A and B are shown apart, each in its own frame.
Chain A
Amino acid sequence: MIEVAGLTKRYGTFTAVHDLSFTVRPGEVLGLVGPNGAGKTTTLRCLAGIIPATAGLCRLAGHDVAADPVAAKRTLAFFPDEPRLFDYLTVRQHLAFVARIYGVANHEALAEPLLAELEIADKADQLPGELSRGMKQKLAIACGLLHSPQVLFFDEPLTGLDPLGIRRMKDSILVRARAGATIVLSSHLLHLLEEVCSHVLILKQGEKIADGTLADVSARFSRGEAGVSLEEIFLRATGGAAPVES
């Protein structure tokens, strides 16, 4: 469960996110969309406790990110758009390191099926420098999933993946959601949202334009037209579309 109330993030006089409130329940996948500079990544980074919010409340699985960051972080996994890996640790050593940080006692038993699921078991003794972009992404995901997080944040999760990798990533997100995880992902790829997300939140210049289920948001911006694509809805919501003639 993710509860956000009045989240605001300012950099000096610039407001990156303004008074953002929403809730995501277990099993739901929320798609965070918006034009460049809308505040998607900033929102995710605040939720993951990477940067402190200027104001507002973020609760992950009942833990306040600001008041009890350690407990909150124990429940989450954050996957940045560019996989952040340690150059001198092999795939297996990454998992050993993360296991110690999170205190995952049986990490070896957990790691093997995880690596197999992500199809990097044969790369277990290789360094990140020897892996392709997609493989690095998979390793970052394996590290994030090792401690069985309840809350998952994905920032542009499909960047750099090949078609098969994209398919697997979508399946993986859906499988975790069905298993009860709470997921927020930000992406510019609207077809991903249509296929994966149960809910959508549209941001523009740090402010919420709309949120709700895909059907709700579609209904709000379709102006009664049938079969309006999500792309068109996004453009209308963010003011990027030409006005529809009535």
Chain B
Amino acid sequence: MFGALLYLRLTSLRNLVVTRLRRLRQPKYLVGALVGAAYFYLMFFRRAMGARAAAHAGPLAAGLPDDVRVMLASIGSLVLLIIVALGWILPDQRAGLTFTEAEIAFLFPAPVRRRTLIYYKLLNSQLTILFTAGVFTLFSRGGSSLIGGNAWIHWAGWWVILATLNLHFMGAAFVITRLMDNGITPWRRRFTVLGLIGLVVGAIVVWMWRDLRAPQAADLVNFHTTAAYLNTLLASGPIPWLLLPGRLVVGPMLAADGPDFLRALGPALLVFAAHFVWVLRSEVSFEDASLAKSEKRAAHVAAVREGNWRAARGALKARPGPFRLAPSGPPEVAFLWKNLLSTFPLFRPRTFVVLVVAIIGVGQWLDFDPDRRAALPALAICALIAAGYILFLGPQLARQDLRSDLGNADILKTYPLRGWQVVLGELLTPVAILTAALWLALLTLLVAFPPGRTPWLTPGLMLTIVAGLVPIIPAVCALQLLVPNAATLLFPAWMQSMRNRSERGIELLGQRLIFIAGQLLVVLLALLPAALGAAAMIFATQWLIGLVAAVALAAAGTLAILVGEVAVGLWWLGQRFEHFDLSAELRP
């Protein structure tokens, strides 16, 4: 029977790989794969290869000094202990192994022993663990010149750690299920576990207080003296016994070379084997919980595929509308109302008012005292960083527009609205969110730089700049948001695959990078006429009408150009929406 399950797993894996390779025949995936590969090379492999070369050439080839390695093993062990403790404290449901709906439909009614299903799940989880270990290796290899070892040692070491943790969580879940079956509630278990942890920690603290000396200045002179003190501490009394299992598990990961790794691997595999036997001997019914878990997972995957992140997090709750929607008036406002309901409850006009009051209050409080006033530039820098972040990444984060409503295109197209009205309505929510955030950043800057503090920035000029920026900001946001929405309508198949964040792969990463770069380029090109026009106007008119009036004129001109661009974009996208047929676009 296990042979059939192995066949299922291996065939599924082979088909997945073949499908991924086959789709590289499509240029969008091939280009995406190339860009993704280049990104990985530049971000990880080049660095790792550089580090290896440096390690071979330099004095650090031998890896870490022993004292630091011992300290790292102890710290790693402590971290594992904390993770394991959380595995006993946090769960509040019965053990449920995660199966897909198809696996449940085929395997649960089949004459398969429960133990075989556990084998199958363990085998399945190894693929994910191997992949995760590979990703961790990319990061840990960054410091390989310090830690020592090579990529294979890191990968195998990470696999030992993750696979043992996986087994421990499974075993703990089975024990927790048995406790719940015996009437022990999650809270009673938590109190018991926390009580035991409290007792152990308390005993260690008392022992340390009585038997250990406090660190002296000489212990903290440099890294090595600190490591030596910590190693003495962690090797004293009951602590090494407490940390022993964890140290055995992290041992292979910290091995400096092959022989060292093999020496550390034996004890680590013993811990792994003990866990394996523990899990297999647990006779616990997991079918009901697995069924519930798989349904939840299927709903999550469906929600993610639709780009519905609130539903994916299971956070959907009925709540009142963001404002009263009158039955008459511009229909575009209905989209704003609808899409605001799809965002976080905090995105409300009253939140904006509260934040305005808070920013002004904090600014006044900082400005009131000369000592505190020194913090104002830092506040301004934070506001500038936030504004930059919102400007460049905001359109990728605020997606309550056509990107999340494309699945409802059939219904939207039956509404008695022109295409541009639907597009405008869909854009209103992300524009409102990003505009509010940028206005708050602008207010923070204004609070951090009160008029009159900077000689050239007169109150009149500052107020003119702010008054000019206030209407320009929503126009810029709208312009930016037109780009991803245009991409959604122009390349729906591409966006469909990018939208599906549950789908992973180097080619999809590359596609996303290409899209972000493309969006940046298009927005910069669209902003260029407005920026050039504004600069020309200020340059040409400030001698005649003064700087303040010239800035005001330039702001008005900029706004006119941006509004014109947005209007053209809306009209064009509206036309595209009216002739849009998702079913035709997604035909192979």
Contact = CB atoms under 8 A, between A and B. Distances in A.
Nearest to B310: A88
A69 B419 CA distance: 10
B318 A97 contact: no
A86 B408 contact: yes
Nearest to B425: A101
B202 interface: no
Contacts of A69: 416, 418, 578
Contacts of A126: 318
Interface in A80-104: 80, 84, 86-90, 93, 96-97, 99-104
Contact of B413 (A49, A93, A125, A127): A49
Contacts of B416: 69-71, 73-74, 101-102
B311 A70 contact: no
Interface string B11-45: 00000000000000000000000000000000000
A52 interface: yes
Contacts of B328: 100, 103, 105
B316 A88 contact: yes
A143 to B, nearest CB: 9
A217 interface: no
A97 B337 contact: yes
A163 B415 CA distance: 31
A99 B324 CA distance: 13
A127 B584 CA distance: 31
A89 B334 contact: no
Interface residues of B, number: 37
B327 A127 contact: no
A110 to B, nearest CB: 10
A72 B282 CA distance: 66
The listed residue with most B CB atoms (<10 A of its CB), out of A74, A86, A100, A106, is A100
B418 A70 contact: yes
A77 to B, nearest CB: 8
A122 to B, nearest CB: 14
Interface in A96-125: 96-97, 99-107, 125
B217 interface: no
A79 B317 CA distance: 26
A7 to B, nearest CB: 15
Interface residues of A, number: 39
Query: Which of A51, A106, A125 has most B Cβ within 10 Å?
Result: A51
A127 B318 contact: yes
Contacts of B321: 93, 96
Interface string B325-362: 11111010110011001100000000000000000000
B270 interface: no
B334 to A, nearest CB: 4
A133 to B, nearest CB: 14
A129 interface: yes
B327 A52 contact: no
Contact of B342 (A11, A73, A88): A88
Contacts of A12: 587
Contacts of B325: 96-97, 100
A76 B414 contact: yes
Contacts, number: 102
A45 interface: yes
A93 B415 CA distance: 17
A93 B411 CA distance: 16
A11 B583 CA distance: 10
Contacts of B308: 87
B417 interface: yes
Given A11-B584, A52-B579, A101 B342 contact: no
Given A51-B581, A69-B578, A100-B331, A80 B418 contact: no
B414 A49 contact: yes
Nearest to A48: B414
B316 A50 contact: no
A11 B327 CA distance: 39
A106 B327 CA distance: 8
B45 to A, nearest CB: 41
Contacts of A234: none
A73 B414 CA distance: 6
Interface centre among A52, A74, A96 (most CB of B within 10 A): A96
Contacts of A87: 303, 308, 310-311, 316, 342
Nearest to B308: A87
Contacts of B413: 48-51
B283 interface: no
A100 B581 contact: no
B311 A129 contact: yes
A186 to B, nearest CB: 14
Contacts of B342: 86-88
A78 B413 CA distance: 10
A48 B326 CA distance: 27
B410 interface: yes
A52 B329 contact: no
Choose among A45, A77, A88, A129 the residue with the greatest number of B CB atoms under 10 Å from its CB.
A88
B417 A50 contact: no
A31 B308 CA distance: 36
Contacts of A104: 327
B316 A127 contact: yes
Interface string A34-60: 000000000001001111100000000
Contacts of A102: 415-416
B194 to A, nearest CB: 35
Given A69-B578, A87-B308, A100-B329, A50 B337 contact: no
Contacts of B417: 70, 73, 101
Nearest to A130: B318
A35 B380 CA distance: 67
B492 to A, nearest CB: 14
A188 to B, nearest CB: 19
A130 B461 CA distance: 56
Contacts of B316: 87-88, 127, 129
Given A45-B410, A84-B411, A107-B327, 18 more contacts: A48-B414, A50-B414, A52-B578, A70-B417, A78-B410, A78-B411, A84-B407, A90-B318, A93-B321, A96-B321, A97-B325, A97-B338, A100-B325, A100-B326, A100-B334, A105-B327, A127-B317, A129-B316
5 contacts: A48-B414, A71-B416, A73-B416, A88-B341, A100-B329
The 3 A-B pairs of least Cβ separation, nearest first, read A100-B334, A73-B416, A74-B416
Interface of A: 11-12, 45, 48-52, 69-71, 73-74, 76-78, 80, 84, 86-90, 93, 96-97, 99-107, 125-127, 129
